Copies of this chain bind each other. A is one copy, B any other.
Amino acid sequence: MSDARSESPTDRQHPDNTTERLEIFSDGVIAIAITLLVLDIKVPEAEPGELLHELGVQWPAYVAFLLSFTVIGIMWVSHHSMFERIRHVDRGLLFTNLLLLIGIAFLPFPTSLLAEYTKQGGDNSHIAAAIYSATMALIGLAFVAIWTYLARHPDLLVEGVEPANLRRSIRRSYVGPIVYAASIALAFISAIACYFVYAALAVYFIWGPSTRALLPARGRAEVASAEQPGASED
């Protein structure tokens, strides 16, 4: 693989200017979205002596904050890990990445919806949880779309990323959207049950593939070697 293309090894191992800029821009959007989440936690109006009680009533706001913060944090890890493998950006990748950013930037809204309507319970809580699940599933699909796009345009990748590794990344990227999509159905039974699924997925991603994918990437050169067939991570 490396022979056919290697006129200039350094060029093939380093991201170009636009790729770096797109990663920084994406990092910016992700950092802002993750920090805006706190605006969903409202200061309650409490009668004297009632503040602790009023704060307790809005527990879903804290849990939703923690869940969304953790998931966006994981998404940042996944996004950075993905861009470690990209050296050039074309139009398709640019706008597929924009789709992903739309989803992440939108997330404070379903988070706010979930925080607000879980405590009310009933149909509204089901709708709120279903919308949260659906948003997460769509963001997950955007990751699938980017990985798939990269597999079909290997010229966008840094040298040494093996097709087998890409296929594994694609397979793994289906876990998120499939489980989140399934939780849409669960939402119509119980919104609270969905919280446990969200938390379980977060734990899975933290202990699982997202960070494992990240860890070998100690630099462009090592990405290549870490991705060789002999260095299987499974």
Contacts and interface: CB of A to CB of B under 8 A. Distances in A.
How big is chain A's contact interface, by range?
Answer: 35 or more
B124 A101 contact: no
A79 B31 CA distance: 16
A51 B218 contact: no
Contact of A34 (B31, B91, B105, B206): B105
Q: How many copies does the complex hold?
A: 4
A199 interface: no
A43 to B, nearest CB: 5
A106 B27 contact: no
Nearest to A74: B98
Nearest to A116: B43
Interface of A: 16-18, 21, 23-25, 27-39, 41, 43, 46, 48-52, 55, 65-66, 69-70, 73, 76-77, 80, 84, 88, 90-91, 94-95, 98, 101-102, 105-109, 112-113, 116-117, 120, 122-124, 127-128, 131, 206, 211-212, 214-215, 217-220
The 10 A-B pairs with the shortest beta carbon distances in the complex, nearest first, are A28-B31, A51-B124, A32-B35, A91-B211, A49-B123, A73-B98, A51-B127, A16-B218, A41-B109, A35-B105
